[in-house]
Amino acid sequence: MAQTRFDLAVIGGGPAGYVAAARAARLGGKVALVERDGLGGTCLNRGCIPTKTLIHGASVLAAVSGAAAWGVSCGGRPVMDLAALLARKDQVVAGLAQGVSRLLAAAGVTVFSGLGQVPAPETVTVSGPGGQERLSARNILLCLGARPTLPPIPGLDLPGVVTSDALLDASDVPDTLAVIGGGVIGMEFACLFASLGSAVTVIEAAERILPMVDEELQKRLIPLWKRQGVTVVRGAAVSGIVPRGDMLAVRHAGRGGETETVCRKVLAAVGRRPAPVDGIVALPGLVREGPFVAVDAGMRTSIPGVFAAGDLTPGPMLAHVASAEGMVAAANAMGGNEEMDYEAIPACIYTVPEIAGVGLTEEQAAGRGLAVAVGRATYGANGRAQTLGEPVGLVKLVADAADGRILGAHLFGAQASELVAEAALAVRNRLTVRQLAATVHSHPSLSETLAEAARSLLGEQSHAA
């Protein structure tokens, strides 16, 4: 039987891989996708989607708990049925995974289940439950994703020490939780479990948590989290974890010497690294940048006909970046000449409250030698925020003082993850503060905070004394 020749073989079915496969097929290509786990990758199965489902469940609990302020009587103290919430999470994930499968089928993509490897040029082998298949492909796209990083800390193998994957299926809410790592994953889980009733301590080795977040926003957020039950300890290197009766003690050293945090459960959330290429790609000449695979702006690797996208490459480790890179790679594999543009990549952190940002922070702009102008608007002065009962929030615009061009926008508050899209459009299209201020925004809406921040920068505030 003649072997099928594919125009593109994609290894990895996460946000980069399945989006790339669908686009290449719609561009007329014959496309294969190889995935050894679940379609949708980490984002859909163990990351973005399940965590945000749980976070929304916790927000529903908070809303019901505060319902009396809106004249709604719930007849007693509401409690979280964790099993029901986990079932809801699984339902959402399963539904979206089925959607990905239907998307690929509709596009005409052939999906193979198993481990994909590249032993020779234009060749992909698939090792699955039924044995090994050999595919021939004119182009190959590597979308291997990333894996959790576990530092060499003694005691990480103790019962009660978990990664984010295990915590997604926790059968109970610990009364106390220590989180090792103050990055995005650590802070999102910290706020989630604080919302569910845990007393949480975040232990971060660096002096700053969430290093990608504007420093002014960080300083305002830490006290807010403290009131929610999240204590942040910075500049504290964890030296080990030891049993302490039926509890765990996390030992860490900082400016005040060595101390320990005693807790019921420990989450190790110190980041992620690209999945290893060794053992997957046997072709010589693949250039690396540290743990990443080097690519050009068109997502081409150093090997002709081999592309890479997503967490395997040096760009931001974000699902929407992976999808954008996958689409660029797919177009170029099909004969196009597209390039990635990283200037206006929005980033969202689903803490309580949400954090979002795009473009340069004030510190980054100043570090480039730019004369910076800053405008701010608070949620407290916004009518829609007050009607929602969400008066805590800040929008900060960073502009070039010379020409008024918007360089970045950074915000925290209700629906920050939605508001940042308008800011990304402004940064992407090099709009000025004057243009944003002159754009009529609906009232009452949270989006008015963006216009108000622009007017603040111009000295023309409408809703601030």
Radius of gyration of the chain (CA): 24
Cα separation values, 326 from 29, 142, 236, 372, 404, Å:
15, 10, 38, 34, 34
Catalytic residue among 252, 320, 443, 463: 443
Measured at the CA of 383, the angle between CA 382 and CA 384, to 5 degrees, comes to 95
Tell me if residue 463 is catalytic.
Answer: no
CA–CA dist 40, 137 (Å, integer): 22
Q: What stretch of H or E contains 62?
A: helix 48-65
CA–CA dist 432, 302 (Å, integer): 39
Q: What stretch of H or E contains 74?
A: none
Are 387 and 243 a contacting pair, CB within 8 Å? no
230: Cβ–Cβ under 8 A, 6 or more apart, which residues?
Answer: 190, 191, 194, 200, 201, 202
Query: 3-state class of 314 per DSSP?
Result: coil
CA–CA dist 258, 251 (Å, integer): 7
211: Cβ–Cβ under 8 A, 6 or more apart, which residues?
Answer: none
Residue 373 burial (CB count, 10 A): 18
Question: Rounded to the nearest 10 degrees, what angle do helices 184-195 and 215-228 cross at?
Answer: 30
Catalytically active residues, by annotation: 443
